[in-house]
């Protein structure tokens, strides 16, 4: 009888897989929770402790680290001396190892996790068995991903599971253990003062892409650690996502999740071209679209509430690349799926989107730049200072906070004219701040939007008063910006001359 060790944290599909192995004549050895699940499902299973003649010890820290287990996995079947030694020691060879690991990545992504909790979720026995089985792949099948249970069983049933299949599974196993160890190393390194001396990223390919930013560039999408954020999106309809789609979806999601009320965001080339909030999504989208209906053509829409038929009918009026939402009702799907290429994406659990441990990584020639994520939610607006003679009105305060939330997601030099519930003009990516002000004002005029009584958000300080003068001329009555220029007094004086209110946040939000 062949022997399999099945010991998994992620129980997805394990009962069906173990049942299939038993049908193929395998003896199943297991531990802890997996053993219990299999027994309750009526599957014959032997406890590892009963086979090795030694109980689990140290609260389960040691279960499988034993010569009977590791010897059975590592013995070379083509070496008569090794096989004779197994026989002398009464060790049965292990032919299959199905193991996945303690959820270390998931554990450290939780807010407030302690070092003790993290350490208890570092798997030792699992990676050891996986590495042993992968090393001996000419004779042993190793399965670390529930996704592989189905095809492995199918090939075992028809006798076609060959050395190349086991080699592929072994490569995947080593990659999984390597990624696991890299995550632990990053976590422990980051616990010390400053950044770790060595930083390794556990990357796993999600899919090949048709091409990169341009058709002559090849590209692929990799996720870091567990599935979350853009890597956990579910596509319901439409063409496959492109490199540029992924970038735009990430920016659209980040911005729409800044708002608790119903919100709609339209993104084009990784810049918002319209944002609106309202009591319902139809009104929020209408406000967002009004900011820049020309640029919205071919854009990406993200909303933070389920899409219903009313919104779907509005979305269908414009050519869009992608719509991202928490869900789509059936009527909305019936409307939107008439556009065969429109990509419809469901956003995962918001809490899993941006863990506090997240980093941002950008490539440069010969290396990577790594930084903490710029989290607006960590900003305490009680530290904001009104620096002008005039205080903002309550309506202006609401508009200023709205503008500030949007500004962080606009490419620098970022300027956002806004009301309390919508953007009115956005200037992005200009080489001078005053040019961004003029561009945003021109955009508003082009969309027939009146900037009289609007507010303005600026991601960084005004180096000269000319930006403030241009904002006042366009109709803005209040400005929110970080402050910190050597000409702050000159800028404040300009605001006072125009009767404007100005708020310094003390924090810059460049986005390159």
Helix axes 125-135, 163-191, angle to 10 degrees: 150
Cβ-based neighbour number of residue 90 at 10 Å: 7
pLDDT grade for 433, boundaries at 50, 70 and 90: very high
What secondary structure does DSSP assign to 455-492, as a single string?
EEEESS--SSTHHHHHHHHHT--EEEE----TTHHHHH
- Give the pLDDT of residue 83: 87
Q: Looking at residues 416-426, what average pLDDT do you find?
A: 97
- Give the CA-trace dihedral at 490, 496, 500, 502, to 10 degrees: 50
Q: Inform me whether the pLDDT recorded for 408 exceeds 80.
A: yes
pLDDT grade for 454, boundaries at 50, 70 and 90: very high
- Give the pLDDT of residue 56: 72
| CA proximity to 125, closest of 64, 51, 75 | 64
As to burial, measured by CB atoms within 10 angstroms (0-12 exposed, 13-18 middle, 19+ buried), residue 61 is exposed
As to burial, measured by CB atoms within 10 angstroms (0-12 exposed, 13-18 middle, 19+ buried), residue 509 is buried
Q: Which of 2, 135, 155, 356 is catalytic?
A: 135
Q: Which of 2, 66, 269, 339 is catalytic?
A: 269
- Say whether 269 is catalytic: yes
- Give the pLDDT of residue 353: 53
The three-class DSSP label of residue 104 is helix
Q: What is the pLDDT of residues 375-403, one digit of tens each?
A: 765 567 788 999 999 999 999 999 999 99
Instruction: Kindly give the residue spans of alpha helices, DSSP state H, lying in 56-201.
Output: 67-74, 80-88, 104-108, 115-120, 125-135, 149-157, 163-191
Domains present along the chain, CATH in parentheses: 2-191 (3.40.50.1380), 203-352 (3.40.140.20), 379-504 (3.40.140.20)
Quick one: how many helices (H) and strands (E) in the chain?
A: 19, 21
Prediction pTM value = 0.75
Q: What is the pLDDT of residues 464-499, one digit of tens each?
A: 999 999 999 999 999 999 999 999 999 999 999 999
- Say whether 135 is catalytic: yes
- Give the pLDDT of residue 176: 86
Cβ-based neighbour number of residue 452 at 10 Å: 8
Instruction: Report CA-CA distances (Å) from 401 to 252, 283, 339, 347, 422.
Output: 18, 20, 37, 25, 11
Q: Inform me whether the pLDDT recorded for 348 exceeds 70.
A: yes
User: In DSSP terms, which residues pair with 358 in a beta bridge?
Assistant: none
Q: Inform me whether the pLDDT recorded for 184 exceeds 70.
A: yes
């Amino acid at each position: 009888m062949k022997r399999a060790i099945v010991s998994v944290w992620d129980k997805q599909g394990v009962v069906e897989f173990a049942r299939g192995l038993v049908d193929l004549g395998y003896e199943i050895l297991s531990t802890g929770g997996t053993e219990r699940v299999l027994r309750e499902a009526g599957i014959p299973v032997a406890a590892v402790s009963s086979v090795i003649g030694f109980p689990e010890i140290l609260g389960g820290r040691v279960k499988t680290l034993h010569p009977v287990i590791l010897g059975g996995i590592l013995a070379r079947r083509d070496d008569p001396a090794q096989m004779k030694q197994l026989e002398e020691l009464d060790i049965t060879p292990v032919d299959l190892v199905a193991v996945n690991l303690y959820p270390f990545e998931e554990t450290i992504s939780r807010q407030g996790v302690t070092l003790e909790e993290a350490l208890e979720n570092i798997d030792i026995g699992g990676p050891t068995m996986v590495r042993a089985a992968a090393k001996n792949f000419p004779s042993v099948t190793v399965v670390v991903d529930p996704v592989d249970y189905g095809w492995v069983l199918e090939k075992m049933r028809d006798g076609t599971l060959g050395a190349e299949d086991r080699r592929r599974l072994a490569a995947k196993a080593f990659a999984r253990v390597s990624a696991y160890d890299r995550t632990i190393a990053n976590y422990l390194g980051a616990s010390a003062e400053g950044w770790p001396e060595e930083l390794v990223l556990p990357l796993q390919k999600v899919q090949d892409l048709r091409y990169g930013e341009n058709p002559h560039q090849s590209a692929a999408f990799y996720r870091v650690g567990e599935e979350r954020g853009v890597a956990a999106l579910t596509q319901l309809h439409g063409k496959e996502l492109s490199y540029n789609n992924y970038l735009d979806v990430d920016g659209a999601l980040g911005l729409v999740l800044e708002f608790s009320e119903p919100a709609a965001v339209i993104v084009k080339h990784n810049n918002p071209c319209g944002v609106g909030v309202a009591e319902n999504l139809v009104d929020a989208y209408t406000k967002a679209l009004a900011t820049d209906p020309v640029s919205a053509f071919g854009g990406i829409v993200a909303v933070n509430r389920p899409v219903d038929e009313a919104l779907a009918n509005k979305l269908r009026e414009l050519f869009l690349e992608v719509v991202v939402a928490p869900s789509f009702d059936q009527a909305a799907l019936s409307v939107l799926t008439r556009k065969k290429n429109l990509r419809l994406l469901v956003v995962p659990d918001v809490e899993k989107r941006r863990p506090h441990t997240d980093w941002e990584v950008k490539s440069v020639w010969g290396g990577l730049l790594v930084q903490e994520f710029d989290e607006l939610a960590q900003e305490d607006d009680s530290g904001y200072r009104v620096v002008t003679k005039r205080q903002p009105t309550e309506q202006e305060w609401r508009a200023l906070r709205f503008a500030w939330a949007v500004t962080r997601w606009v490419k620098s030099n970022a300027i956002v004219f806004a009301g309390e519930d919508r953007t009115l003009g956005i200037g992005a990516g200009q080489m001078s701040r005053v040019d961004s002000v003029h561009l945003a004002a021109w955009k508003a005029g082009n969309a027939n939007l009146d900037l009289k009584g609007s507010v303005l958000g600026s991601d960084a300080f005004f180096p000269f008063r000319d930006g403030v003068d241009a904002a006042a001329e366009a109709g803005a009555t209040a400005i929110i910006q970080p402050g910190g220029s050597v000409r702050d007094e000159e800028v404040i004086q300009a605001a006072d001359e125009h009767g404007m209110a100005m708020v310094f946040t003390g924090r810059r939000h460049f986005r390159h």
